[in-house]
Structure 1
């Protein structure tokens, strides 16, 4: 199998991508095979479409849309080399769809998830820091108030003691 490392698609997916019916796809595939184009099949005999087949079918659709006869379009597609390296790198200009391999998709998902986790972690750290600052600030206010109350009580005690001392006659102060 020459496409062992590629991801294959079934006719339903290909037809949806090309915006044609599955019966049209089947007819085009049969005609391409009759003109010498080789399509791979699975163990059940179903056609498996690879990226090279997508390109061939897109080209066939484009030629038919430009009023090229069906036979001439088939011959043109069969004569093209759809396995060229540059062809596999260039996305079609006729579709807004981007195709990724399974590994590319997994890498992209992992990268996006990693970024999302990092952002969420940063947000959680900021929220935790804000909460801690708030708790520390409240604690400091309470401690400051308690210290001020304690100092006020001490001042009052000292003032009361001085007042009591001043009221005592001099001889009581002398003979404590």
Structure 2
């Protein structure tokens, strides 16, 4: 294991798409059955490729409805060290590893942010359009009111003229008799 890179629980949990508390519970149960994890000077578990294989196998067994205790026993008694030893890249390398869940969250956040921007732009455009429509409508209403007032004024003047003429003719008629 000296040539392998070790991982802390957070990195393992992200890779396996489980919570750190689930990883801790699985680790404790495996240790109870004799599985041993490497620990650092602070007594923290350090996980290696063989441990990833063990957890993947445990996760697969649980997904196939194998009871928890039976799954733990099956994984604890298996030797993952010699099965297709594969080195994993260091967590501290320039390569960044993201779980499917993290990528989905990043994409979801980006989509939500873009959606907010688009909705804000749409709302502003609608507001501007409504404001322009209201101005035009107000102008047209004012023009219609002005036109109606002019027509009323003209009709009123015509009525006054008729009345004046009628009065004039009525007075002449009265005088002729």
TM-score in terms of structure 1 length = 0.50
TM-score in terms of structure 2 length = 0.50
